[in-house]
Structure formats: structure tokens, C-alpha cells
Chains A and B, each alone.
Chain A
């Protein structure tokens, strides 16, 4: 069964460093997402991406964050200068169609980011 994959599973970085989290969505999917979960808190939406551009972003997704689909298979989340409060589990998801039109978002296993 097709699945969303994410690498690395765990990333440790120093405050102020740049990190890139990588995701390979399901191959025929058109919509891509990033969510995060800070320990003990809710899973929060960060950004959605369709047709090579951001379709929606949350207030969390400020100028320190960017997303890219550099080729036909990968979808990346970059944090330019990490802060302690960026420590969280980051989930990538993809869907074939809009979730609000009945599509299902399929999630990857997550990347745990620890900022020291």
C-alpha cells in the first residue's frame, strides 16, 4: 500500500541553524501539507501546497519557514534559523483531492526535531 515517507526520523540541531525536513508524498497525490505537534499539545496545521505554490498557511508559518517541491517526488520544509520553540514532531501529509471535497489526507510517520 502506498505511504508517505519522511526523513530523517529524528533531527537534532543547534538554535539558529537551518534544517530541512524531507517528505516523499504518495505518487499520484496533488495536495501536500505540513503539520506539527509540540510535545503535549495538539497537532497544528502549518501549510498546504498545491500546483507548486502555497495554497494556505497558518500564522505559525512565518518567514522562517518555507516549503518546496524541488522535483517530482520530494516535498521539503525548511526552517531557516531554528528556535527552541520549533522543537516538535513534524508530520507531512498528502491527498489526492481537497479534504473538504471528501479527500483523505495520508500522514507520514513524522520527524522529531529537537532544537538545543
Chain B
């Protein structure tokens, strides 16, 4: 069985500061990993995904994530937060050849001016 843990249900950052959202997973088989973002009153939008190619994955809006197998982590970062980054972020895992996403609890990001 797979599971995803996101540390911190809420994160507050200042505009221009580093955004770091933590995600740890457990999976009995090599996983594929995803970060989705949900803006208010909108659906889940894919930010980036890891599918066993490069361990450092670049996504949209300046976000990137690094897959670290030894730490079973897939943390999401952005060097400089923008007001428009205020949203909820979800980490998700799927087993290779599987088809259902298992989500973490989500982290809501607040960006202060």
C-alpha cells in the first residue's frame, strides 16, 4: 500500500522568499510522484511529475522538485515566492503500472507582501 505525508498543513512565506513544501512517500514498488496545485474555486492542476527519468524535475510557474529515493522524499521548492503562488498544494504517488493516485493531506501556502 502507498501513502503520502505532507509536513505542515499551512505554510506562510514572504513574497520573494523561498517556498519549500515537504512530501514523503511510502511505496512498495518504484513510484511515480506528482505535485498538484489547487487555486481557490478551481480544480487540481498538475505542477510537475517524476516518472523515473531525471531526479530533479522542473514544473510550471518556476517550481521544481527533487526525488530522493534514500529519503523517500519529493519536496517541492520555488526560489522566490510570488503573491500568485497562494494556493493549496498536493503531493501524490502512484505505483508503476498502477492507475490510482494516493494524495497527501495538502499544504496551504499563504504569501505575505
Interface string of B95-106 (1 = CB under 8 A from A): 111111111111
Residue in B36, B42, B49, B106 whose beta carbon sits within 8 Å of that of A109 in the complex = B42
Residues of A within 8 A of B45 (CB): 107
Interface string of A70-96 (1 = CB under 8 A from B): 000000000000000000000101000
Question: Looking at B45, B99, B104, which has the most chain A CB atoms within 10 Å of its CB?
Answer: B99
Identify the closest chain A residue to B6 (Cβ): A42
Residue in B41, B99, B103, B106 whose beta carbon sits within 8 Å of that of A56 in the complex = B99
Residues of A within 8 A of B49 (CB): 104
Would you call B44 an interface residue if the criterion is a C-beta within 8 Å of the partner chain's C-beta atoms? yes
Identify the closest chain A residue to B42 (Cβ): A109
Known: A91-B44, A98-B98, A107-B45. 11 other contacts (CB 8 A): A41-B105, A42-B103, A42-B105, A45-B100, A48-B99, A56-B99, A91-B43, A99-B101, A100-B32, A106-B46, A107-B43
Residue in A41, A100, A110 whose beta carbon sits within 8 Å of that of B43 in the complex = A110
Count how many chain A residues have C-beta atoms less than 8 Å from C-beta atoms of the other chain.
Answer: 28
User: What's the least CB distance linking B57 to chain A, in Å?
Assistant: 13
A109 touches B41 (CB 8 A): yes
Residue in A42, A43, A44, A101 whose beta carbon sits within 8 Å of that of B44 in the complex = A43
Interface string of B44-76 (1 = CB under 8 A from A): 111001010000000000000000000000000
Q: How far is the CA of A67 from the CA of B22 in the complex (A)?
A: 35
Q: A104-B49, A107-B36 are in contact. Are A99 and B43 (CB under 8 A)?
A: no
Question: Looking at A35, A44, A100, A102, which has the most chain B CB atoms within 10 Å of its CB?
Answer: A100
B46 touches A56 (CB 8 A): no
Residues of A within 8 A of B89 (CB): none
Residues of B within 8 A of A48 (CB): 99-100
